[in-house]
Structure 1
Amino acid sequence: MAAPDGAAAALGALLQPAPGLRVLVTGGTSGIGLAVVTALESFGARVHVCGTDADRLAAHLDAVPGRTGSRCDVSSPDEVAAMVADVERDLGGLDVLVNNAGIAGPTARVEDITTEEWRRTIDIDLNGAFFCAQATAPMLKASNGSIVNISSVAGRLGYALRSPYNAAKFGLAGLTESLARELGPDGVRVNAVLPGFVDSDRLNRTTQARADAMGLSFAEVEGILMAKTSLRTKVSEQEVALLVAYLLSPAARTISGQSLSICGNVEYL
C-alpha cells in the first residue's frame, strides 16, 4: 500500500537537503563536481563554484542566474584565501564545503614517476582539500555546517601504477576522520564519498593510459576493471551527486567521520 501523501512528503523532506544551503564546490565546472552543483541547485542550494579554467567558469556562471564562482587553484593557499573571501561576500557565509577538485595524476611504474608529477598530484588532491577546509572552518563552525570530501575507492584499496593518486586518496581518508573528530564538537560533520569506476571521460583517459602501460587494449583493461566489481557496473556522476545530497539531508544528521563507497562493490584495484 502506498504511503499517505503527508508521509511521503515528510520522508522526501527528510532525505533531501534543506533549501537555501550555501555551498562551495571546488572543481565544479565538469565531471562529478558539475553533477554535484546541478543536483544541489535542484534542491534549492545557493552554490559558489571554483575552477581553474576562467573561460569555462565564466560560461557556467552565465548559464545559471544566481550562481557565483571564483577562478582558483586549490593547491595555492593564497588563491584559496581569495576564493573564500569571495564566498563570504557572495553567499554571506557557508553551510557546506564539497572538496571535489582533483587530478588523476600519472599512470606509470613508481620508478618512472617524476618528482613534479608526484608533488602536483598530492598538492591538488590532498593539500587542496586541507587548504579549503582550513580556510572555511570558521564559517562552517558558525553555521554548524558540513564538509564532503570526494575521494575514491583508491582511498581504501591499493592501486598499482597510480601511486600518487592512491597516496593522496588514502591521505584524504585520514584527513576526513581527523577533521570529523576536531570539528564535531562545533557541530560540523565531515564525510568522504568514494566513487568506484565512474562512467566519465576521465575514466576513459585513465583506462587508456593503464592499457598503454600494461601493453593491453582498452577493451581488455575495461574488462579487467569490471571483473573487479561485484555488480559488474560503472557508477554515474549523478549517482555520486545524489549521495552527496543525502549526506547533507536531515536524515544524515548523525553521519560523520565516514568514508562511504558508491562503487558496485569494487573488490580490488
Structure 2
Amino acid sequence: MSARVVITAGASGIGLAMARAFAARGDRVWVTDVDAGAVAAVPEGIRASHVDAADEAQMAAFFAEVGAAWGGLDVLCANAGIKGPTAAIEDMDLAEWHGCLAVNLDGAMLAAKYATPFLKAQGAGVMLFTSSTSGLYGTPFRAPYVAAKWAVIGLMKTVAMELGPFGIRANAICPGSVNGPRIDRVIAAEAEAKGMTAEAVRAGYAGGTALGRLSDAEDIAAMAVFLASDGARMVSGQAITVDGFTINPDPKV
C-alpha cells in the first residue's frame, strides 16, 4: 500500500531527492517550497505547493488542503532549512539570527504541529526531521544555523516521546556536507569569513570525514525511505548521521 508523504522544502536539493525516492517506490508525494520557480519545475507525478514553512497561516492552510485531498497522511519530512548568516558571534545580526531560526526551527515545529492530528487519528505514522551534523558538533561562524539544528533534535526527541503511545515514530537525519548549490554557497561564505580559498574549505570538509568525501542528496533520501519503512519499525527518537563519519568537524580551523 502506497504511503502519503509530505516534504517541506521539497522542490530542490535534499527535499527533491527525497520526493523522487519516495515516488520511485510508489508513494504519493506532496512537496512544499518557498521558491515558486522550483515549485513550478517539480517533476510530473509529484504534487507541489508554494508555501512558506515559517508562516503558520500558510502551513495551516496547506495541511487543510492535504486533509481534503488525501484524507490523511503517513509520512512527514520536515526538511525546510536555510544556511543563515556566516559571521563571528560578535558580529551577529539579531534579525538574521531570528530569520534563520524561523525557517530551520519554527518551520519544523509547524510541520509537526499540523501533521500530528492526521497521524494520531490513524494511530500510526512517521515524522522525519532534517537536522545536521552541525546539530551534533557545532560549526564555527554558523551560530544561528547550529543552534537551530541542535534544537531540531530536541524537538524530534520530544515529539517521539509524546507521540510514541499513538504508534508514531520520529527521527532526525543529520547530513554532513552534501554536494550541490547550497554547500557551494556555504563554502564560499565560510572561505570569505576565514580568509581561505573555497577549494581549501571544500577539501577540509571532505578531509574531516573518515570516507574522505561529501555526501550526495540521494544518500540522505535513501535514509529517509528506510526510516519511513517497516524495516525501521523500532527506530524512534534517534539522530542518525549520513556523513561518511565526521572525525573532525572543522579540520581547517
| Partner Cα distance (1:157, 1:94) in 2 | 33
Cα distance in 2 for partners of 1:194, 1:118 equals 21
Q: CA deviation at 1:56?
A: 2.4
The aligned residue for residue 53 of structure 1 is 35
| Cα offsets for 1:34-70 (capped at 9, x unmatched) | 000000000011011101122321232xx413x3232
Q: Pick from 158, 161, 164: which aligns with 1:184? A: 164
Post-superposition Cα deviations, 1:152-205, rounded to whole Å, max 9, x if no partner, equal 101100111000000000000100110000000000000000011111111111
Counterpart in the other structure of 1:40 = 22
Q: Distance in 2 between matches of 1:206 and 1:265?
A: 20
Task: Choose which of 186, 195, 204 in structure 1 pairs with 2:175.
Answer: 195
Q: List alignment gaps of at least 5 residues for structure 1.
A: 1-18
Aligned pair partner of 2:134 in 112, 130, 154: 154
Q: Distance in 2 between matches of 1:89 and 1:54?
A: 23
DSSP 3-state at the match of 2:173: strand
Contact 1:147 1:190 (8 Å CA) reproduced:
yes
Question: Match of 1:159, SS?
Answer: coil
Report the AA paired with residue 240 of structure 2: L
TM-score by length of 1: 0.90
Q: TM-score, normalised by structure 2?
A: 0.95
Give the unaligned 5+ runs of structure 2: none
**Counterparts of 2:41 and 2:193, CA distance in 1:** 36
Aligned residues: 248
Which residue does the alignment assign to 1:28?
10
Instruction: Verify the 8 A CA contact 1:35 1:237 in the aligned structure 2.
Output: yes
1:237 to 210, 217, 222: 217
1:167 aligns with 2:141: no
Answering whether residue 47 of structure 2 is matched by residue 68 of structure 1, we say yes
> Distance between the aligned counterparts of 1:264 and 1:31, measured in 2?
19
| Deviation (angstroms), 1:225 | 1.5
Looking at structure 1, the residues matched to 83 and 57 of structure 2 have their Cα atoms a distance apart, in angstroms, of 23
Q: Which has the larger radius of gyration?
A: 1
Q: Percent identity?
A: 38
Q: Which residue of the other structure, out of 57, 70, 73, is the alignment partner of 1:91?
A: 70
